[in-house]
Amino acid sequence: MERLFIKQNIAYPTLIAILSGLYPVLFYYSNNYHIVNSWEHVRYFTLVFLTIPIVVFVFISLLFSTKKNLKQKKYVLPFLSAFTLLYLLKICVFIQVERKIIVGIIILSIAFSYFLNRYFKQWLQFLVLLNIIGFIALSNTIYKRLNYSKEWMQQPDEIVSVLFKKKPNVYFIQPDGYANPSQLKSDYYQFDNSDFESFLSQQNFIFYPDFRSNYSTTLSSNGAIFTMKHHYYNLDSQSNEVQFARKIIISDNDVLSVFKNNGYKTYYLAESPYLLLNRPLMGYDYCNINYQDFKFLNEGIGKTWEIKEPLKQVVYEKTKQPKFVFLELLKPWHIESRKNTSTGAETERKKYLERLQESNQILKQLITEILTNDSQALILIMADHGGYVGMDYTDLSSTKTEDPKLINSIFTSILAIHWGEKTKPDYTFTSSVNIFRTLFSYLSENNNYLKHLEEDASYIILKSNIKKGIYKYIDSQGNPVLEKIK
């Protein structure tokens, strides 16, 4: 009798809770593995999606095990199972509180428990099948990660051991999506940025026109910048990013290693936790965002952090070590990503330019703060990609176009450098993958490292109007091309 009681009120509800809560976990991991691949996320999903449902299912089952509530018990577990599955799936798709959807889930769960409770065994069989499908999808994702090779990151020389002969404080400021001066004058952007350009010139910045990124997104572009190598999207046209990009950028990369090997104290300052979503091991000595300050499930840009005060503290911090600061700004960003949120090419252009002017004001304040205290700082202003202006929305970039101005709009990137010396070094900069290899050559006064520059080509994943694949879109001379990477 006691064994039957345990089976009906503990073991059985536990099994149902696991079947109901596990599929949303498998679904989310299969579709968002790149932002949940941490042990902290494993603990979070185990607690919220499995442990809490188990406790609730068992508690309510025990509550309805008395003779008084026995008649109602047949409705309870079907309701809890349907509600748990649908509500957790809702969380995976719509992280924000969506009251209408929640009300709809409650109504559906009540209807299911009342009218279909007699088919509950078939429902459980359906959940088993659903979880098997989820496991298969996730196993494919995990298999790719287990077979991931870091070979592409290997350097052809000993640049990781480079020794600097001069050690200025280095500030890498990355305004997201900021187009270069030549592109801002083009037909699609049509913007006079002379006020900001004059400000930078007065501060002894050097502009490098027609500069561009090698990849079209923040993660893929920074993945190449901080490794000083091409990754070609890991030859995976199913993804738009480089695998383990956040770990590469935040935890461990050759650029960060070089600065640390040369005695630099390293700082990561950001307005958004976008690069921190999967909670990678922090490779920088200081970050202005703490992991406990943002949620486990991705909310996009979500909450933003104030950047001026943290930078001020870093600038005025007294330390015997030179400083390397990676400062990431959200603006001017780019046009809307999706068709359903786009307001059309012309309106998106105007909104982008408004944000660009706001970005100019922020940049002026940050640069003034730095140079007031450190006139010899090496300041690098370089975007991660372009603003996509001229398109209706950024997802259109995966559709093949033969318009060179639209192609350039994807990859265009500002590059302005304050060298901190009266004599400006004579370097040519074309694309972002080679920026730090060139800077390390300058700081070490050893141009042998320039013998191994990567190709200054830009790459994209195309999916429409062409056979799906990874393509070289701009060659090293800046000409539009269309060469599939095999």
**The predicted structure's pLDDT at residue 237:** 79
Per the prediction, the chain carries an average pLDDT of: 92
pLDDT, tens digit, 9 for 90 and up, residues 428-465: 999 999 999 999 999 999 999 999 999 999 999 999 99
Distance between CA atoms of residues 183 and 207, nearest Å: 13
Distance between CA atoms of residues 258 and 210, nearest Å: 28
pLDDT, tens digit, 9 for 90 and up, residues 125-140: 999 999 999 999 899 8
In one-letter notation, the amino acid at residue 458 is S
pTM listed for this prediction: 0.92
Tokens 């006020």 correspond to what residue?
195
Residue 4 predicted with pLDDT over 60: no
pLDDT, tens digit, 9 for 90 and up, residues 175-222: 999 999 999 999 999 999 999 999 999 999 999 999 999 999 999 999
Give the Cα-Cα-Cα angle 447, 231, 177 (nearest 5 degrees).
Answer: 85
Name the CATH architecture for the domain at 168-484: 3-Layer(aba) Sandwich (3.40)
| Nearest partner of 414 among 188, 225, 176, 171, judged by Cα | 176
Distance between CA atoms of residues 167 and 182, nearest Å: 32
Going from N- to C-terminal start, the domains of the chain cover 2-146, 168-484
Tokens describing residue 85: 């599955």
Distance between CA atoms of residues 72 and 331, nearest Å: 56
Taking the CA of residue 217 as centre, how many other CA atoms within 13 Å lie in the half-sphere pointing to its CB? Answer: 20
342-359 burial, b if ≥16 CB within 10 A, otherwise e? beebeebbebbbebbeeb
3-state SS class at 272: coil
